[in-house]
Chain A
Amino acid sequence: MLEWIRQLGRSGISQFETLGRANLFLLKTLVGLPGLLRRPGLLVAQLWSVGVLSLLIIVVSGLFVGMVLGLQGYNTLVDFGAEESLGVAVALSIVRELGPVVTALLFAGRAGSALAAEIGLMKATEQLSGMEMMAVDPIHRVIAPRFLAGFISMPLLAAIFSAVGVYGGYFVGVGLLGVDDGAYWSQMQDKVDLFDDILNGVIKSLVFGWVVTWIAVFEGYDAVPTSEGVSRATTRTVVYAALAVLGLDFVLTALMFGD
């Protein structure tokens, strides 16, 4: 029993230590951000690998999610003769919730795991130590551009996801199931609010981008420098990021939409 309590205490302390390290690490990363102004090339390269290379999975997923919403929404709404509201239903679901959340989950799986693995392997192969010995701070040179690229990419990817999703719903609802074209768009235009809906979705995606990228770069940097350590860091990135996104989504939704 005593040993169990001791273990619980040890694990608690270790969790808090990790949290402290993660916060200090974030602080150092933020301090390194202004340096990127002098070297935009580093950021552009990361925007490519973190953002542009995630485009395909985001676009394809957005399209299918929109199509499924179109189908499900139509089947539900048609019972009440309200199928013309399909545009609003699809748009609100995607812009408020699915856009930021699904994009963040996909982003964690595609870009977050890649970031953690890349940074962890750089650590395992002494590349980060090598930089330190060359008087180059790896947090400024390696972490800062990756963190900023993730933070910038995530809301843009979420916006693309939402746009494609709305078209996916349109394709199924209007193209295949015969919902009125004008009604689909005009109801959406009428009911979706720029600030209440779209801006709140953008805020969510900014928060998710920050958190997912932070978890990814920290897990990579904090990885035990062995193959097993890197593999664990990659797994932890996806699991922690997914849980953080879902948890934060509830909190943000409650703050934004809970009256």
Chain B
Amino acid sequence: MDAAQPQNDSDTLVRIRDLHFSRGARAIFDGVDLDIARGKVTAIMGPSGTGKTTLLRLIGGQLDPDRGSVQVDGEEVPALSRTGLYALRKRMGMLFQSGALLTDLTVFDNVAFPLREHTDLPESMIRDLVLMKLQAVGLRGARDLMPSELSGGMARRIALARAIALDPMMIMYDEPFTGQDPISKGALVQLIRLLNDALELTSIIVSHDVNETASISDYVYVISQGEVVGHGTPEDLAKTDSEWVRQFMQGLPDGPVPFHYPAPDYAKDLLNDAV
């Protein structure tokens, strides 16, 4: 048994069983089982379009599964009332791929947003809290900037500061490294691990950046075509027997996932065209 795999129920923060979800006729998840261990960084990897972001939305209750169970901290998410769901979401943070900062508010007001919405704290205390969160992501000096003045990496760090504003139990990261320069990527990689350990969070990273994600993850699930095709610690997955997982983890251009999109025979195709 892996160290990062939950040993019993109290170790598991998110438990997904027999998850089925489809969009129209297309099945996104077809019987997925998944456990996210409390206090750990768990990565969910897979090629683009496999429904990784959809999985986060299912955990956050923005989508309802067709069948199966999604439990967060013992609560069955799809069965929660609106009030119950909102109470649960106050204990979750989510970092969207775009950052999803409110464009009409300054950086400071963005981070203060959840505090002002959900607490009655005096403004002086909100100021202190916001500055502490901004300091944690290294952007205290950017407090007066507008989101349009931020680089992509800065916007994600601000969004991270906002996500931890209410001291959640868990943070979900949706493709945090996509489109980042090496410095921003490095900063985010370090921040995710540091914040997880310092704030005793549970982190779920959805990503297809294998190296960055594997470097800070305690446990990895690889999903493809609606199923979990491999899971284990990053070290286990590096030694996996599954050709598919090996192709994905090592970024090989050809393998079980072919380089070529299905097409008729090449030679015949060319000759047909000539006729």
Contact = CB atoms under 8 A, between A and B. Distances in A.
A135 B97 contact: no
Given A134-B113, A135-B90, A129 B118 contact: no
Contacts of B96: 126, 129-130, 133
B60 interface: yes
Contacts of B117: 134-136, 141
A125 B94 contact: no
A130 B155 CA distance: 14
If over half of A's interface residues share one DSSP class (helix, strand or loop), that class is named, otherwise mixed; here it is helix
Interface string B105-146: 000000001100110000000000000000000000000000
Interface in A91-136: 122, 125-127, 129-136
A127 B90 contact: no
Contacts of A129: 62, 96, 100
Contacts of A133: 60, 62, 89, 92-94, 96
Nearest to B57: A129
B102 A127 contact: yes
Interface residues of A, number: 14
Nearest to A134: B114
A131 B162 CA distance: 11
Contact of A135 (B100, B103, B118): B118
B101 interface: yes
Nearest to A49: B104
In this complex, which of A122, A126, A137 has the most chain B Cβ atoms within 10 angstroms of its Cβ? A126
In this complex, which of A122, A129, A134, A137 has the most chain B Cβ atoms within 10 angstroms of its Cβ? A134
Contact of B89 (A126, A127, A134, A141): A134
B87 A130 contact: no
Interface string A2-30: 00000000000000000000000000000
Contacts of B60: 133
B211 interface: no
Contacts of B159: 130
Given A126-B96, A129-B96, A130-B96, A135 B89 contact: yes
Interface of B: 60, 62, 86-87, 89-90, 92-94, 96-98, 100-103, 113-114, 117-118, 159, 162
9 contacts: A127-B100, A129-B100, A130-B101, A130-B102, A130-B159, A131-B102, A133-B62, A133-B93, A134-B90
